[in-house]
Amino acid sequence: MKKIKGLFFFIFIFNLINNPVFSQDNVFFIDLDLIIKKSEEGKKILDKIKQQNEENIKLLKKKEEELKLDENEINKKKNIISREEMDKEISSLKKKIKLFNSDREILVNNFNKLRETSLKEFFIKINPIIQEYMDEKSINILLDRKNVFIGRVDSDITDDIIKKINKKFN
């Protein structure tokens, strides 16, 4: 009787160890950065962000050049004007520099908000498309490419998603 129980126990343990595990989870990944860069809607957003950045840079360079001209004018007058006048002009320049720094900070903050909201709106728009694709292909888990160390090439569905996004918005 002990031998039969031992044999059944051995067979039971052997079957547990030997049975392969078959996962029913379908795990895929997409490259969100590539979707933004290659989809038509993403390109529009990136162009809008780039244009705003270029406008900000032009404006800041123009103001910076004006400040440099003011500084050069003060340096030219340095030996000609009185000490009180010099202090007034230096004080005025410092105020302009402080205003410039404040304006620059406001531009940077506004630009960051624009970029953040534009990208957030883009992802809100494409979320239903990605969800629909996941439902069609019975995908359970979808990861961002940045968070995947290594994966099979056929698990990358970025190109399919880009095609669906372009089809939806064009």
Residue 18 placed within a domain: no
Whether residue 35 contacts residue 165, with contact meaning beta carbons closer than 8 Å, is answered with yes
Model confidence at 24: pLDDT above 80: no
- The verdict on residue 14 lying in a domain is no
pTM for the full predicted model: 0.73
Residue 21: φ, ψ to 5°? -100, 125
- Predicted confidence at residue 36, as pLDDT, reads 94
Under 8 Å between Cβ of 129 and 161: yes
N-to-C CA span, the chain: 76
The pLDDT score that the predictor gives to residue 122 is 94
Contact 36, 163 (CB under 8 A): no
Looking at residue 11, what is its pLDDT? Answer: 60
Q: Decide if 144 contacts 29 (C-beta within 8 A).
A: yes
Evaluate whether residue 4 is within a structural domain: no
Bigger pLDDT: 170 vs 96: 96
The mean predicted confidence, pLDDT, of the chain is: 85
Least confident of 14-18, 31-35, 135-139: 14-18
The boundaries of the domain holding residue 46 are 25-169
The number of distinct structural domains making up the chain is 1
Which residue from 143, 142, 156, 158 is spatially nearest to 36, judged by alpha carbons? 158
Average pLDDT over residues 141-165: 85
Tokens of 156: 């990358």
At residue 100, the pLDDT reads 94
Residue 106 has pLDDT above 80, yes or no: yes
Specify if 1 maps to a domain: no
Does the residue 3 lie in any domain?
no
Q: Identify the residue with better confidence: 155 or 8.
A: 155
67 pLDDT higher than 80: yes
Q: What's the pLDDT score for residue 66?
A: 93
Residue 81 DSSP class: S
- In the chain, % of residues over pLDDT 70: 85
